[in-house]
Amino acid sequence: MTKKTHDLKRIRTTPLDAVIIGTGAYMPERILTNDELSTMVATSNEWIESRTGIRERRIASPEQASSDLGAEAARRALANARVQADEIDMIVVATITPDMGLPNTGCLIQQKIGAHNAFCFDIEAACSGFVYALEIASQFISNGTVKTALVLGAEKISCITDWKDRSLCVLFGDGAGAAVVQARPAGTGGVIHTIMRSDGRLGDLLMLPGGGSRHPASHDTVSHGLHYMKMDGREVFKHAVTCMTSVAKDVLTACGLKVEDLKLIIPHQANMRIVKAIGDRLGGKPEQYFVNLDKYGNTSAASVIVALDEASRKNHLKKGDLVLLVAFGGGFTWCASIVEWCHG
Ligand code: ACO
């Protein structure tokens, strides 16, 4: 047997649990109501509310970028978790509206909140972004690489919205949410299991075509409106319902759970009709489905964590409760996660 010449310290030892120990959200102050939107495009409060359930949304000020919204959500999450910024090892930000190409939004938030011991990066999985990011962070935590992670969804969707396109501009809003996720001994709870799926064949149905390496920003891309989102709303609707329902069923089956075992279901906050259609297929009681899209519209990657934060602050969750997070977005991407609540 060869004699060991080193004394390797094993970092990846026992699997640990990744537990959400605090959440926070920041929604810009400016409220844009359906009535005000009706003065901007040919629409009405009645049309928007009956088709989507949305009554109003928040719009960031011209000075605010996604990192500003995210930094404020992060401060609130840290306060809620009673964690100092310098204790954070990792920041992962889900966004389709980064402040700029580089630095990444995570680094910008790191600088704003003083989390100087963290490594930081962004991920892009559209409206599925927060759940994807939560699972990425929980993998780092489970294998012992990271003790404390800050996971965010932060979006200024208003800057990629064509305010002349009535089929799109009524749906979205700005906002940010954050979760502090920390390692705990196995068996504590936290992120129990996540399933993440994608289908790039359907990417054309929801796109932001301009400004990347395919169509770099130019007078031409701007004059053709390529810096705005494009969407086939009806197709997106159908896939959102089918995919969120199936991935939710799959994660429940994988965990040996029934819908009745869940305290809350937090679906991506896109459209009340999508949430109801999922409810019809998945089952459960209406009060299990947490919805706040009436106030904020679809905030893309921020939507699930903003809703989770509100549910937590309204005391809808207590220790030991099981929560289902389920999301769908451009790509297409979709995912579902079972979280055992350990906070509060
Ligand atoms: N106000 C008034 N009329 C409108 C508006 C508006 N804001 N927008 C569209 N219309 C008109 C259309 O022009 C159309 O008129 P026509 O019949 O004369 O052609 C009519 O309303 C019906 O349009 P549809 O597209 O059939 O309306 P639908 O019932 O499908 O609702 C909606 C549209 C709300 C966009 C729906 O398809 C939807 O919610 N899709 C999902 C989109 C989504 O949530 N995307 C977010 C990103 S992905 C995600 O987060 C899941």
List per-residue pLDDT tens for the chain, 344 residues long. 567 777 776 656 678 999 999 999 999 999 999 999 999 999 999 999 999 999 999 999 999 999 999 999 999 999 999 999 999 999 999 999 999 999 999 999 999 999 999 999 999 999 999 999 999 999 999 999 999 999 999 999 999 999 999 999 999 999 999 999 999 999 999 999 999 999 999 999 999 999 999 999 999 999 999 999 999 999 999 999 999 999 999 999 999 999 999 999 999 999 999 999 999 999 999 999 999 999 999 999 999 999 999 999 999 999 999 999 999 999 999 999 999 999 76
What's the confidence (pLDDT) of residue 66?
Answer: 98
d(CA 20, CA 319): 11
User: Which position among 127, 169, 243, 342 bears the catalytic label?
Assistant: 127
Rg, Å, the chain Cα set: 20
| DSSP structural state of residue 173 | -
Q: What is the rounded CA–CA span in Å between residue 52 and residue 1?
A: 69
Q: Ligand 1 pocket, 234 CB below 6 A?
A: yes
How far, in Å, is the centroid of ligand 1 from the Cα of 233?
Answer: 6
Grouping H, G, I as helix, E, B as strand and the rest as coil, residue 268 is: coil
Q: What is the DSSP letter of 163?
A: T
Is the torsion defined by CA of 215, 133, 23, 127 positive or negative?
positive
Residue minimizing CA distance to atom 1 of ligand 1: 43
pLDDT at 223: 97
User: Alpha-carbon distance 190 to 192, whole Å?
Assistant: 6
Residue 298 near ligand 1, beta carbon < 6 Å? yes
Tell how far the Cα of 77 is from the centroid of ligand 1, in angstroms. Answer: 35
pLDDT at 5: 75
Which one of 3.50.7.10, 3.20.20.80, 3.90.550.10, 3.40.47.10 gives the CATH number of domain 1-344? 3.40.47.10
Using DSSP's 3-state secondary structure scheme, residue 262 falls into coil
Neighbours of 313 (CB within 10 A): 15
CA of 131 to the centre of ligand 1 (A): 26
- Name the residue at shortest CA distance from atom 35 of ligand 1: 233
219 part of the active site: no
Q: Cα-Cα-Cα-Cα dihedral of 258, 192, 344, 278, to 10°? A: -40
Place of tokens 């969120």: 244
Select from 252, 12, 20 the least CA-distant residue to 138: 20
Ligand 1, atom 21, lies closest to the CA of 167
120 is catalytic: no
Verify whether ligand 1 is closer than 6 Å to residue 270 (CB atom). yes
Cis-peptide into 15, omega within 30 deg:
no
Q: Are 115 and 91 in contact (CB under 8 A)?
A: yes
The gap from C-alpha 220 to its chain's centroid, in whole angstroms, comes to 32
- pLDDT of res. 217: 96
| List 104, 271, 298, 343, catalytic entry | 298
Q: Please report the pLDDT score of residue 9 as a whole number.
A: 67
How open is the CA angle 238-305-48, to the nearest 5 degrees? 45
Q: Is-catalytic flag, 342?
A: no
